[in-house]
Each structure stands twice: as C-alpha cells, then as structure tokens.
Structure 1
C-alpha cells in the first residue's frame, strides 16, 4: 500500500507541477474552453463509453489526419492563440489597469485602515466604560474623583484667565485714557500755535499786500514816466502843426487823438501799455489809417469848446503831416497794400534765394532771374496780411538760350501790430511754391 501511495503522490505531484506551469496550465484551460463540446459528449453523451471514446479519438487524430489542424481550429490553433494572448498581451493590460487603479486601491486600503483604527479606539473606549461601570471594581469611584478634580482645575484656570483679561483691559483702558488726555493737551497746544501762526501770516500777508500795492503804484508811475516822452513827442508835433494855423486844441483832445491814431481806446490805455516804448517806435514801419479813425476824430472834435473850428477831415490832414519826416509811414489800407507790394518786389532776389524755394527750384532745373507777383487778396484781423500770386522765370540751367520751366509762387506778407492795433512792424513772409503745371 505504501508503494501505491508513493506512486500516486508522485503522479499527483507531477500533475500539479505541470498544471501550475504558466504555459501548460494556460494551454490546458484554453483547450478545455475551445473543446468543451467534445468533452461534454465524452462525459455526458448517451452512446456507450467505447463509442464516445472512439468518436473523441477520431476527432483528435492529428497524426493520422494532419488536415484536422486547419479544418478544426478549436483543436490546436485557437487554444494556441488564446494561450499567447493570455501570456503576452493580457499581463501588460492588467498592469496598466492596476496602475490606473492604484490611487483608488490605496484610498480603499487607507479607508479600511482608518475604519479599523476607529473601530479599535471605540472598542478601547467601550472596554474602559465597561471596566469603569463594573460595581465590583474601584475604578468608578476613582474616575468620579478625577472628573471632579479636572472640573475644579478647569474652573480655576477659567477664573484666572478671566481675571487676567479684566486686569489687562483695565490697564489698557487706563493707559488709553491717559494717552488721549495727553494727545488732547498736545492738540490744544498745536491749535493755539497754529492760530498764532495764522494770525502772524495774516499780519505779514496784509503788510506784504500793502507794500506790494505801494510798489505797484510806484512801478506804474515809473513805467508811465518812461513812456510819456514817446507820447509827448506825438502830442508836441500835433499841437505844433495845429498852432501853425492858429488852431488850439485842448490837452485832452490832443491826447485822445494820439491814442486814436494807434488804435487805443483812450490815452490812459496807451500810457499803461507795455508795448508803447521808444524801442518799439524804432521798430515801427507802418501806421494804418483805419476807416474808424475819422469817426473817432469826429467824437473828439465834438468835445472841444469851439466845435466849429474843428473838422475831423482837417485834423486827419494834420495827422498826416506829423508822419511826413518820420521813418514810418501813415497809410490807408490801399496805400499800405501798395507799399507792401513795392517792398515785396524790391525783395524779389531774397525771396528767390529763400530756403522755402530751394526744393521747388531744384525740381525745375532752371536759373530763376525774374519774379512777378500780383496782389490776390488782403485781410486785417489780428495781423495785416497781403496774399500774392505769381511766377518766377529764367533760362534753363544747362542751355542758357532755352527758357526753363516756370515756378508758381504764392507769398503772404504779414505785418504784425507792435504798438496798439494800428502800429505795424516789419514784414514777415510765408512762401509756398511748386513747378508750374502748363496743362
């Protein structure tokens, strides 16, 4: 019996080893899955055992019928494919799935561990409660005493903390009140000091203001005294011209007439004007005889005592005489336009050589010798400006016997007031040009 037992043990051990082998075991399971119908007929068929075994052997006779390998794929081919799939393809997939489930598995494990720890703690508390509630043990009395002692300690600590907190609040309130008292005293001192500084500044400001007003009056008087010689010059010339024909005009009439000549509203405005100086008189080039001057002269003449002796047109003629030997001209609008036109034509050489014409001249390849300009329009608003339009001409640069391309020139001559509204200064030019387009 022992020999049979050893033989059986050897057979079962060898079988277990073969079954546990990954290749043999996998192939065996795959073959059973693919050929379950054959095995079912073998074990559960209704025919006799010999017939069922013969039928199974006939279906599996690969050696006698090699074509069965291709005809019956379930016999070897499909189990082999399933075995290879199980051995080589399924493990990486399983590993990838395990990697994706790692966090969830760890979380589940952590949750289970936490549940076990909580369960152990609750069990410990339960055991303690059972032990304390056992009347046969002395733990209950000691536990009650410990609870009483802990409650007493907590009450003492709470009272101590409350008392310390109240002491701190009292000290803080006292310090705050003291600090606010000191701050109030400091603020009061600062307020008084500030009031004193404000009063002192007001006194100084009032004193400075009075001193400034005095100096301003002195300065105005000084300026007026500096400007009076220029005004006196015109008063004296106008009075002398009238006196030659035995016409006597009041000082107020003379002063208002001189102020009207330069476009001032009154003599005081002229005297207080910062531009009415001898320097500006030296820069003066034209004095415009505005159309409103006759009306102003009519009003001035009406204020004179002997009104019949004064005629605005006669006074206007006397005004013209006082400018006859002066470096500046007294002209009407038409006369001023003509004077400006003459001046522009006299400056034609400088105009042709100006920077504004250098670019257009370079485009024409012409040597310009003549410039003909005609008055296009004029206006007198803030400045007296006259617009000219014309052409510059001359021979070709490379062929002197051939006429070059003309240059279309637009020029604006501007004379700005430097004394009053009608005292005009030197001319300023605004020049624009382009080659003439004959088309």
Structure 2
C-alpha cells in the first residue's frame, strides 16, 4: 500500500508541476480558445456521450491550423509579446497617472490646510477669555516681581555698604596682625639661620669624623696589600716607599689616586674576598713603569712588578688578574662546562619551552659567544647562544626536541673599577625550534 501511495503522490506532483507551468497552462488555454466549438459540442452537443466523443475525435486533425500552430502562436504572443505591449501601455499612461495623483494630493493638502485654519480659528475664539485672564495675571506678577526686585536691590546695596565697612575694618586689623607676624617671622628666621649654621658646622665636623673612621676601617685591607707587596719585592732586594706601594694598589683596582681608594668605603677585606677577577687595560703597565721610574729602579721592569702583584692576589685572595680579553676567554671555557650549561634548564623561560615539547633529559651544545662589553661602573657582560636537545618520548606525538637559548653572563663590579665578582647567568630568550620551517 505504501508503494501505491508513493506512486500516486509522485504522479500528482508531476501533474501539478506541469499544470502550473506558464507554458503548459498558456498552451492549454490557447488550444481551448482555438477549438472552442468542438469543446462546446463535446460537452453540450446532441446525442449520447459516446457519439459526442466520436464526433469530437473525428473533428480533430493534426494538419489543421487550430490543432498545433494556432495555439502555439497564441502561446508565444502571450508569453513574449503581451508583456512588452503592457509595458508600453504603462509607460504611455504614467505621465497622466502622475499628474492625476499629484492633483489628488494637492487637493487633499488644500483641504487639510483649510480645515487646520478653521480648527485654529475655532480654538482661538474659544480661548480668548482664558488668554485675557492669563495676560492680566502675568502683568500682575510682573509688577509684583519688579517691586520685589527694587526692594532686594535696596537691601543688597545696604548690605554691601555694611560689608565694605567690615572689610575695611578687617583689612586694618589684618595689616596690623601681618606686621606683627612679619616681625616675628624675621626674628624666627634669624634664630633658624643661626641654628642651621650651627647644625651645618656640626654636620661637617661629624662627616669629617665619619670619613676618618671609614678610612681607618679600610686601612687594614690597604695596609695588608701594601705590606704583602713590600715583602714580596724585598725578596728581589727592591724597596719602594709606602706612597709608591699605595699608588700600585690604587692603579691596579682602577682608582685615580691612593686618596680615591681611601675614600671608597667599599674597599675592605670582605669585598676583596668576593672579587673573582681583576681586569686591567693598557693603562696598568705604564702606571707600574712610572712608579719604578720615580723610584729609580733600573734592573726590574713593569712585567716583574705585575707578576709580584698577580702572585699576591692569587695566593691571598684567589683573585685572577688578567686583561679583559683574557677574562672573556676564561669565562667562555668555564661556561662551556657541562654543568654550567645544564643550569640553563632551571630558568623560567627554558622551563616554559620544555613544557611545550615531548622530550626529556636535555643536553646542551657548546655555547657560542655573540658579544661582550665592559663598563667600569656596571661590570663585564657576555652574550651567548646555545641549543638544548632532549630525548623524544615515544608515547607522545612529536612536537620538537630542540630549544634555541640566548643568555647573558654578568660579572658585576665588586671593588674599584676593575674588580669583578662571580659570574651570574641570565636567560634572555628561549625558543622551541619550529620544524615546520623547511630550513630546519
């Protein structure tokens, strides 16, 4: 039964789509118009139904013009010619229709305007008495307001006169009070100046005492270096006066003079013990040579004096004295130590990138020195780059196992202008290598 229902439903849908088609419907209508006489005889003709059908069938001939050609021509005219005829008729009628519609609108506007004037005149006539009462009341209120304004102006003028007299009395009183205050302030300022001068003198005295105490506190470290250096060069039967020995120590640590060294409160045993390197530049050896010339030492040169001072710093304080380039070379070798580079994995930027990978047990490649700079107030800074490579875990999808790392190694100034402390690493960038790039 479902198949039969679907069959009839499909047939009904097909017939409906054909009947509602403009071509089919127009053709059937045109055919009916061309063969109306045959259809009338078929429906209302004389005789039985069978005879009428036979007569209708006999009257149809495909060769007749009313069978195919006529209906087809009417269909084409209806579908293609009639829309153009209707379009031309509408265009021909449009000016007349527009003027007719405009006249009708103008007539409606005139009617509404006349009706509005009539309504307005009627309302105005109805409100004449109310308007008159309102105008009288408004005039009365204006008179009362003007009277109150005049009274208020009079009262205000009197109040201003009294206020002016009060201000005059107050100004006179304030002038006398200000004179008294000025005299008191002058006296207090003089007392304050005297106290300030006394406090300044006491402060300068205390500052001098404090500076002398700091110098006394720093003197053991300076004296120890001078005494040790004096004993070292005495083994070679060379004797220098204390001022020359002090100049050697001051020049080695980058001070302009021995007095500058004594004025530096940071020059003490504690700072010396924190110093790892003592860098020097091209000015150190000429300063040593100048000291030897001033003391007329002819058999020994500045290199000999440098070796003595180098030995003292190394033995007594574990300080390596070297040129800046020498310090850089030693640090490059120290940084490429396996443990030093593995410390990079503990930094926050590298840990963040490791969390994005699927690798463990990272190992570091050798670090390449990118750049280095030295500042006598900040210290020595070296910039490195390296790569950390891990072992990929098999149970995880591959997303990278190499991290490119850039880091700085800072040696801060601990003492003087050339005394450098222990180095500290600081990771500046860490990026997981992107293997979607063909170059990788």
Q: CA deviation at 1:216?
A: 0.5
User: Of residues 397, 408, 422 in structure 2, which corresponds to 1:412?
Assistant: 408
Backbone CA RMSD of aligned residues = 3.7
1:199 aligns with 2:195: no
Take 2:358 and 2:211, find their aligned partners in 1: how far apart are those partners?
60
1:362 aligns with 2:355: yes
Give how far 1:192 is off.
2.8
Cα distance, 1:104 vs. partner? 7.6
**Are positions 1:353 and 2:346 aligned together?**
yes
Following superposition, the deviation at residue 208 of structure 1 comes to: 0.5
Query: What's the TM-score, normalizing by structure 1?
Result: 0.58
Alpha-carbon separation, structure 1, partners of 2:357 and 2:180: 86
Q: Cα 1:364–1:106, aligned 2, differ >3 Å: closer, same or farther? A: same
Report how far residue 301 of structure 1 moved: 3.1
Q: Pick the aligned partner of 1:398 from 386, 394, 399.
A: 394
Deviation at 1:383, TM superposition (A): 2.5
Work out which of the residue numbers 274, 289, 296 in structure 2 matches 1:298. 289
For 1:319, the equivalent position in structure 2 comes to: 309
Q: 1:349 deviation in Å?
A: 2.4
Secondary structure of 2:237's partner? coil
Structure 1: give runs of 5+ residues left out of the alignment. Answer: 1-89, 115-164
* Deviations 1:266-309, CA, capped at 9 Å, x for gaps: 1111111132233322322211132321232233333x231424
Paired residue total: 293
| SS of equivalent residue, structure 1 residue 276 | coil
Alpha-carbon contact 1:368-1:392 (below 8 Å) kept: no
Maintained 8 Å contact 2:400/2:433: no
Match of 1:123 in 2: none
Are positions 1:435 and 2:428 aligned together?
no
Residue equivalent to 2:367:
373
Pair 1:266–1:91, CA change in 2 (3 A): closer
Query: Secondary structure of the equivalent of 1:377?
Result: strand
After TM superposition, the score normalised by the length of structure 2 is 0.58
Structure-to-structure mapping, 1:45-64, within 5 angstroms: none
Unpaired runs of 5+ residues, structure 2, are 1-113, 139-157
Cα distance between partner residues in 2 of 1:390 and 1:250: 51
Structure with higher Rg: it is 1
Q: Alignment partner of 2:259: what SS?
A: helix
Are positions 1:385 and 2:381 aligned together?
A: yes
> Partner residue of 1:255?
246
Aligned counterparts, 1:19-98, within 5 A:
94-98=118-122
Indicate conservation of the 8 Å contact 1:393/1:406, yes or no. Answer: yes
Q: Distance in 2 between matches of 1:363 and 1:179?
A: 80
d(CA) in 1 for partners of 2:432, 2:171: 89
Question: Does the CA contact (< 8 Å) of 1:395 and 1:403 recur in 2?
Answer: no
Change (3 A) 1:418 1:91: closer
